[in-house]
Amino acid sequence: MMEVMVLAALLACAGAALIPEPEVQVAVVEKPYICKRKTKNGDMLLVHFEGFLESNGTRFHSTYADNNNQPVWFTLGIKEAIKGWDKGLKDMCVGEKRKLVIPSSLAYGKEGKGKIPPESTLIFHINLIDIRNGPRSHESFQEMDLNDDWRLSKEEVKAYLKTEFEKHGSPMNETQHEVLVESIFEKEDEDSDGFISAREFTYVHDEL
Ligand SMILES: *[C@@H]1O[C@H](CO)[C@@H](O)[C@H](O)[C@H]1NC(C)=O
Ligand SMILES: *[C@@H]1O[C@H](CO)[C@@H](O)[C@H](O)[C@H]1NC(C)=O
Ligand SMILES: [Ca+2]
């Protein structure tokens, strides 16, 4: 039995070695002198970007030209944009500029999208403008976990929501809070023990 399992594991490794993983080519074009913080999964990133087709250099999108010169927010590590962005924009500093070359399997794949034909390798020039803690970040968890026991009680989640809503100028009444907290626990407290653990709270990073 043991031998069969070992053999299966070996075969799986060999298979993985034979099929090359698609990779994002990352080139750091410009790096700031000061870097207080680097991007990680769960962070919200404010970026300016230009995207080009590798095939003929056509620019298919630019936040400078097509978005009134407004950068856009996106959350790293949750497949909000294409997979190539999640892989290529980690450990990045505010003010850093990167060039990414992303194979189609980590972009829009066999389908393509809009101006992007199927099977297109894409080139992005990305300028990181700002980083914020995402709602699922380690920092948010610590902020919510008032007694530092690495799990969130309903009281802790409620207290956090209260201050958040007050900060943003839209306080809620007790009943509304109760309903919101219950719905959060319904979704997030997977093992229904009445607490949201750090594992239940944070993103599963492995699947990227
Ligand atoms: C580049 O390729 C795209 C997609 O195949 C096509 O729509 C576009 O017209 C091409 N542009 C030039 C300048 O050849
Ligand atoms: C709280 O707000 C909800 C929705 O606005 C309302 O239906 C409810 O009566 C309020 N409850 C209290 C105790 O004020
Ligand atoms: Ca739990």
Q: Is the CB of 192 under 6 A from ligand 2?
A: no
Domain end (from 72, 101, 132): 132
Residue 206 falls within a domain, yes or no? no
Residue 72 falls within a domain, yes or no? yes
Q: Is the CB of 173 under 6 A from ligand 2?
A: yes
Mutate to test the pocket of ligand 2, among 162, 170, 176 (most ligand atoms within 8 A of CB): 176
Number of domains forming the structure of the chain: 2
Q: Is the pLDDT of residue 143 over 50?
A: yes
Residue 80 falls within a domain, yes or no? yes
Q: What is the largest CA-CA distance in the chain?
A: 63
Verify that 26 and 112 share a domain, yes or no. Answer: yes
Q: Is the CB of 67 under 6 A from ligand 2?
A: no
Nearest atom, ligand 2, residue 174 CA: 13
Q: What is the pTM of this model?
A: 0.65
Q: Residue 118 has what pLDDT? A: 97
Q: Is the pLDDT of residue 202 over 80?
A: no
Verify that 144 and 64 share a domain, yes or no. Answer: no
Which domain does 170 fall in, by range? 138-201
Q: Is the pLDDT of residue 1 over 50?
A: no
Q: Could you tell me the two tokens for 189?
A: 């407290």
Residue 34 falls within a domain, yes or no? yes
- Distance, in Å, from the CA atom of 177 to the CA atom of 192, rounded to the nearest integer, reads 19
Q: Residue 138 has what pLDDT? A: 74
Q: Is the pLDDT of residue 78 over 90?
A: no
Query: Per residue in 158-189, pLDDT tens?
Result: 998 888 788 777 778 888 889 889 988 988 89
Domain end (from 112, 132, 152): 132
Verify that 177 and 83 share a domain, yes or no. Answer: no
Verify that 30 and 58 share a domain, yes or no. Answer: yes
